[in-house]
Amino acid sequence: MTNNYETVMGLEVHVELKTKTKIFCNCANKFGDKPNTNTCPVCLGLPGAIPVLNEKVLDLAVTAGLATNCEISRIGKQDRKNYFYPDLAKGYQISQDENPICHDGYLDIETSRGKKRIRINRMHIEEDAGKLIHEEGLGSLVDNNRAGTPLIEIVSEPDLRSAEEVLAYLQKLRAILTYTDVSDAKMNEGSFRCDVNLSVREAGKEEFGTRVEMKNLNSFQSIQRAIEYETARHIKAVESGEELIQETRGYSQDTRKTYSMRSKEDAADYRFIPDPDLMPIIITDEKIEEIKESLPELPDARKARYTEEYGLSNYDAEQLTSSIEVATFFEETVKNGANPKSVANLIITEIFRLSSPEDFDVNISPAAFAETIEFVDNGRINLGSAKKIIEIIFENPEKTPESIIFEEDLEQINDRTILGKIIDDVILHSKKAVDEYRSGKEKALQAVIGQVMGKTKGKANPQLTIDILKEKLG
Amino acid sequence: MNIKQKYLDYFSKIEKENEKINAYKTITKTEALEALENNKNPFPVVFADQISTKGIRTTANSKMLENYIPPFDATVVERVKQAGGVIVGKTITDEFGVGETENSFGTSAAVAHSKNITGFSGGYKGLIHSGAQKNGLFAYIPTFGLISRYGFISVASSLDGIGILAKSFANIQNAMDIVTGKDEKDSASHSSDIDFLNLEDIDLSEQKVGNINKFDNFADVEELFEKLNVPIDKVTIKGLEYALPAHEIISAGEFATNMEKYAGIGFGHRADDYNNVEELYKNSRTEGFGKAVQQKIVFGNFVLSEGKYEEYYVQALKARTMIKENLDQELKNFEFLIAPINLYYATGFNLAGLPSISIPFGIDGLLITTGAFNDKRLLEFGKKIVSQLAGEKS
Ligand SMILES: [Zn+2]
């Protein structure tokens, strides 16, 4: 049934820029300080205080634009977007209506269905609003520390067709922004926020279905679930002939459902006007050249290098280049002498389980990680013990792999004679599984291996165990 | 008599007479006496109550800001204070520069009612020239960008140059010397290395002057120029008739958005009665703004609204560009353009961001403009006329 429909999505991503000061004043651009400490007349919107554009914001926006294959505008302006909201001190947000800094770019993504190009419509600079805090007994309070935080909004074309593509696009975008040091791009801290525009149409149709905009999606998981929920809701509506309305919807992590926030009819007329406090933006060819030359190696280039240099698969290379922190950790580990493929494998299976690539917070040094991997590769410990070592170091970073092997008695049993005796014993006591295996049930062997691992506290060399078992039962 | 006594005398005089002349919103006696301490070069100044003064309430003559005390000085105020300026008071303006008032020309009245005060007020619409003419003062609005707008409570930001009012040319020169120049807090501000203190003596007969007067009430000035041996040619600035309507639309649009910040949240008047945030905005604004201000906001939001923006605002911007181009064009043929003091011309100069000086004379006064950043020559020209005028009289 689902195959008869196509989900069409475009994304609006807001990214907080990594500048020392805010976009229009000299206040520190910092997350998590005491409320209203990083404020001044300009970001409080006091009468007579006027903004002056922080040039660094332009540099970072151009950097992001060049890194996503965008055209860069030579002349730009900033516009006021007028609306009333208590967190918006001036009563308008300074953004860009026409003439965004960057436009017409693209990103290449990699999914299980292969490679795909997602077009970027535009990228513009704007200021963030303050934050409303609801305090019991005090009502709503405004913290203006965030007011005036520089943002870029990156708007994609409606080229995305599945949650998998959306996540791949976001991951690639995040990677580029962190590589170029444009942003921390942390979803959990709000420095990387995504709104999804979604509509569903019957496969093969040209015209779009009714579009909804989904907001408040603050994790990759929420985005995936919201897209799945909303797609199902649209299909159901289309099939039952129910009318969908164009609206803005939120997503609740508790109910795992989307809900209506406001309909199109409530949409404000923003009365855009070029901001008369600010001067036109001028970006010279020299500036663009200068930034182009300073661009670091980008995720796609790094990915290509990983597949060529280290023989990694496209998928593995994509995973490892998904953020600068992951890539740096990978390369540092390899530099410490570990086998690249083993490193890739263990990062993707084990490290990512302990810390997601998005907020890669790894409590093990590349040197210790490399040492652990070498112990696996030279047969001193098995993979299960390696995982145990990593977990222990995550909890107790002062420990070394060597000390853990000793303390936890993880030395792998590679001795054929010792292992043979244990296996003989297991075979004697696992008659049922042994019989099943002998009668052709391959799977039953797993139970026997499990017994061997149990008896050796997981220290048996897995390959050697299989070899011996097959000999003895064969 | 010592300097402090002079100020005390002035304050006792003005405290009695202010009710009659309607010059001051706030008289800052305490602050002034403080500023006199250890001041080597004190000189008296007034700021329109639309220019932010740290620690001194700044109301824009509106109920909305009745109790607003800025935590910072406008750049002009900061520079004037640094140079020794002693603020004697904040002067009455139109509400937010456009609304109802007891006196549109409070700054002029304060300057006129003193011996030596220099006044600073918004150059919006060139209105201060009318106040100067009425009160027998000189008013000077420099090229847009020569004086920082930072701290001036915006009317229409692109038209908000600050102007100077004085009884003497020396005070205008002194003020220009102090307040012009680049300000990091206003990206429209320009650096300036003009020496305003030393003006050259010029020969009036060698100047190229165009007379852009369209109406026939300018005979007195024309006669004067003939007497002073200044050749003038009649010139028509095409499109100048669109200056007022274009000014009305552009200023309303900018004004409406500049006024969005007054909503009863962070500062300014806050209504007592409201049930939700919508009502808080609505009631605070309805109570805080006078009728004319509200009307200008409504008109401004109309010209910015979807569908009307192209029809009104964009057209007005086109008219502005045309007027500026036509003025610039004529200013290639004539270094100075003269006209009577009248909003018809003053709004045109304001739209084009050109400097202008007004000299009180005859029925309608004399308004002179020149090319952008040719401020020093304009002052030299004006000063020479004034000195000749003084010679005529004596
Ligand atoms: Zn600030």
Same domain for A236 and A319, yes or no, is no
State whether B303 and B372 are in the same domain.
Answer: no
Tell me the residue length of chain B. Answer: 394
Q: Is 80 exceeded by the pLDDT of residue A268?
A: no
Residue B326 belongs to some domain of the structure:
no
State whether B9 and B59 are in the same domain. Answer: yes
Q: Is B158 exposed, middle or buried (0-12, 13-18, 19+ CB in 10 A)?
A: buried
ipTM of the complex: 0.95
Question: Which chain A residues have a beta carbon less than 8 Å from that of B309?
Answer: 271-272
Together in a domain, A402 and A420:
no
Torsion on CA atoms B376, B379, B381, B386, rounded to nearest 10: -160
* Cβ-contact A93, A80 below 8 angstroms: yes
Q: Do B70 and A50 touch (CB under 8 A)?
A: no
Evaluate whether residue B255 is within a structural domain: yes
Average pLDDT, chain A: 92
Residues 6+ apart with CB under 8 A from A177: A15, A64, A67, A183, A185, A192
pLDDT attached to residue B265: 86
* In a shared domain, residues B261 and B224: no
CB contact under 8 Å between A41 and B261, yes or no, is no
Instruction: From first to last of the 394 residues of chain B, give the pLDDT tens digit.
Output: 689 999 999 999 999 999 999 999 999 999 999 999 999 999 999 999 999 999 999 999 999 999 999 999 999 999 999 999 999 999 999 999 999 999 999 999 999 999 999 999 999 999 999 999 999 999 999 999 999 999 999 999 999 999 999 999 999 999 999 999 999 999 999 998 899 999 999 999 999 999 999 886 789 999 999 999 999 999 999 999 999 999 999 999 999 999 999 998 888 999 999 999 899 999 999 999 999 999 999 999 999 999 999 999 999 999 999 999 999 999 999 999 999 999 999 999 999 999 999 999 988 999 999 999 999 999 999 999 999 988 766 5
Between CA A452 and CA B176 the distance in angstroms is 94
My answer on whether B389 and B262 are in the same domain is no
CA-nearest residue to B190 within chain A is A279
Share of chain A above pLDDT 90, in %: 65
**pLDDT of A2 above 70:** no
CA of A141 vs chain B CAs: smallest distance (Å): 10
Q: Do B157 and A82 touch (CB under 8 A)?
A: no
| CA distance linking residue A274 with residue A81, whole number of Å | 9
Q: B209 with B284, same domain?
A: no
For residue B312, the distance in angstroms to the closest alpha carbon of chain A comes to: 12
Q: Does B140 share its domain with B157?
A: yes
Domain C-terminal end among A408, A437, A463: A408
- Return the residue of B nearest to A50 by Cα: B150
Q: Which two three-digit tokens encode residue A96?
A: 């860009």
A142 and A227 fall within a common domain: yes
A79 and A222 together in one domain: yes
Please indicate, yes or no, whether residues A401 and A253 belong to a single structural domain of this protein.
Answer: no
Nearest by CB to B257, from A86, A89, A273: name it: A273
Contacts of B52 in chain A (CB under 8 A): 47-48
Contact (CB<8Å) B72/A279: no
Q: Is residue B340 part of a domain?
A: yes
Tens of pLDDT, residues A362-409 = 889 999 999 999 999 888 888 888 999 999 999 998 999 999 998 888
Q: B256 contacts in A (CB within 8 Å)?
A: 82, 271
CB A24 within 8 A of CB A55: no
Measured in angstroms, the CA of B130 and the nearest CA of chain A are apart by 24
Least CA distance to B267: which residue of chain A? Answer: A46
pLDDT at site A432:
86
Please say which residue of B144, B162, B179 terminates a domain.
B179
Could you give the 3-state DSSP secondary structure of residue A427?
helix
In this structure, the answer to whether residues B95 and B164 fall within a common structural domain is yes
User: Which CATH number fits the domain that encloses residue B225?
Assistant: 3.40.190
CA distance B128 to B341: 10
Domain of residue A260 covers 5-289
Among B153, B281, B305, select the one facing A48 at the smallest CB separation.
B153
- Domain match, B228 and B257 both: no
Residues A435 and A314 placed together within one structural domain of the fold: no
What is the structure's pLDDT at A340? 95
Residue A450 DSSP symbol: H
Distance, in Å, from the CA atom of B135 to the CA atom of B107, rounded to the nearest integer, reads 10
Asked if residue B187 is part of any domain, the answer here is no
Q: What is the percent of chain A with per-residue pLDDT over 70, rounded to a whole number? A: 99
Does A422 lie in the same domain as A363? no
**Among candidates B62, B91, B130, B65, which has minimal Cα distance to B292?**
B62
Q: What number of other Cβ atoms are within 10 A of residue A412's Cβ?
A: 24
Residue range A434-463: average pLDDT? Answer: 87
Distance from CA of B59 to the nearest CA of A (A): 10
CA distances from A415 to A288, A377, A420, A456, A467 (A): 64, 16, 8, 12, 13
Number of domains into which chain A is organized: 3
Cβ burial, residue A33 (10 Å; 0-12/13-18/19+) = exposed
| B186 in contact with chain A, both atoms CB, cutoff 8 A | yes
Q: Classify the phi-psi angles of A259: left when phi > 0, otherwise alpha if psi is within -120 to 50, otherwise beta.
A: beta
Token pair 């030579």: residue: A74
- The residue that leads in pLDDT, B54 or A446, is B54
In a domain, B170, yes or no: yes
Non-local CB neighbours of B308 within 8 Å, separated by 6+ positions: B302
Q: How far is A278 from chain B (nearest CA, A)?
A: 6
* Segment of A130-134, A136-140, B277-281 carrying the highest mean pLDDT: B277-281
Give the pLDDT confidence of A68-123 residue by residue, as tens digits: 999 999 999 999 999 988 889 999 999 999 899 999 999 999 888 888 999 999 99
Of A408, A431, A447, which one is at a domain's C-terminal end? A408
pLDDT of residue A266: 67
Which residue, among B331, B314, B367, has the nearest Cα to B125 in the 3D structure? B367
Sequence length of chain A is: 474
A329 and A205 assigned to the same domain = no
Taking an 8 Å cut-off on Cβ atoms, the answer to whether B260 and A41 are in contact is no
Q: Which of A52, A84, A269 faces B305 most closely, judged by CB atoms?
A: A269
Q: Is residue B184 part of a domain?
A: no
The verdict on B12 and B53 lying in the same domain is yes
Interface test with B, best of A271, A275, A281, A282 (most B CBs within 10 A): A271
- Tell me, yes or no, whether B223 and B286 share the same domain: no
The angle subtended at Cα B55 by Cα B50 and Cα B59, nearest 5°, is 30
Residues 299-338 of B with CB under 8 A from A: 301, 304-306, 309, 313
Which of B110, B56, B104, B105 is CA-nearest to residue B81? B56
CATH of the domain at B61: 3.90.1300.10
Q: Cα(B295)–Cα(A219) distance, rounded to whole angstroms?
A: 46
Is B192 within a domain? no
B387 within some domain = yes
Q: Are residues A71 and A178 in the same domain?
A: yes
Residues within 5 Å of ion ligand 1, judged at the Cβ atom: A 25, 27, 40, 42-43
Nearest to A362 by CA among A312, A323, A335, A404: A323
User: Are B256 and A272 inside 8 Å of each other by CB?
Assistant: no
A316-330: string of b/e by CB count within 10 Å (b at 16+)? Answer: bbbbbbbbbbbbebb
User: Total domain count for chain B?
Assistant: 3
Q: In this structure, are A278 and A233 located in the same domain?
A: yes
User: Within this chain, do residues B161 and B45 fall inside the same structural domain, yes or no?
Assistant: yes
Mark whether A383 and A432 lie in a shared domain: no
Rounded Cα gap, residues A293 and A309, in angstroms:
24
pTM higher than 0.80, yes or no? yes
CATH code of the domain in which A435 resides: 1.10.10.410
Q: Is the CB of residue B175 less than 8 Å from the CB of residue B79? A: no
Nearest-neighbour CA in chain B from A349: distance (Å): 51
Three-state SS for A350? helix
User: Any idea of the CA torsion for A214, A218, A220, A223, to the nearest 10 degrees?
Assistant: -20
Q: Which domain holds residue B87?
A: 3-179
Which residue among A242, A258, A289 closes a domain?
A289
Please spell the DSSP secondary structure of B232-284, one letter per residue. EEE---TTGGGHHHHHHHHHHHHHHHHGGG-SSSSSS---S--SSHHHHHHHH
Beta bridge partners of A338: none
DSSP state of B304: H
Same domain, B212 and B117: no
